[in-house]
Amino acid sequence: MSAEEAVVSEATPDGVVRGLPATRVARVADLPPGEGRAFAVAGEQVAVFRLRTGALHAVSAVCPHRGGPIADGQTDARVVMCPLHGNTFELATGACLTGQRPLSVFPVAEEDGWVVVGG
């Protein structure tokens, strides 16, 4: 295991997970506006969404309720809805609006045409 892979993820009080190494996961052009995709980053399953506004969000890819694929969920400018049972999570904070445990939120940015998670 490399030193980069050995980084431990830890959630801060605001729900953002720090400690993931900055990892290029996709070209921005390959992530269509209004859609999400799941990626493995340093042992974490991360759902990355590119909203229709171009904003990027990254959250846990697995719903804490029953393991639903969050990246397949419907989004709007503020939330993602799990496709299995309709649990709704804020993209910015990971907070669940329907009573489940929150999702982790990961740093995400666009750098030189790439979507970069972590850092």
Task: Give the pLDDT score at 8.
Answer: 34
Assign 79 to helix, strand or coil: strand
Q: Per residue in 62-95, pLDDT tens?
A: 999 999 999 999 999 999 999 999 999 999 999 9
Task: Give the pLDDT score at 20.
Answer: 87
What's the sign of the alpha-carbon dihedral 68, 69, 71, 74? negative
Q: Which residues partner with 109 through β-bridges?
A: 116
The answer to whether residues 54 and 89 touch, using CB atoms and an 8 Å cutoff, is no
Residue 44 amino acid letter: E
Task: Give the pLDDT score at 14.
Answer: 55
The model's pTM is 0.85
The answer to whether residues 105 and 89 touch, using CB atoms and an 8 Å cutoff, is no
Q: How many CB atoms lie within 10 A of CB 39?
A: 18
Q: Which residue has the tokens 């993209």?
A: 91
Q: List Cβ neighbours of 105 (8 Å cut-off, separation of 6 or more).
A: 14, 15, 16, 17, 57, 58, 59, 91, 92, 93, 94
Task: Give the pLDDT score at 17.
Answer: 63
Question: Which residues of the chain are under the pLDDT cut of 50?
Answer: 1-10
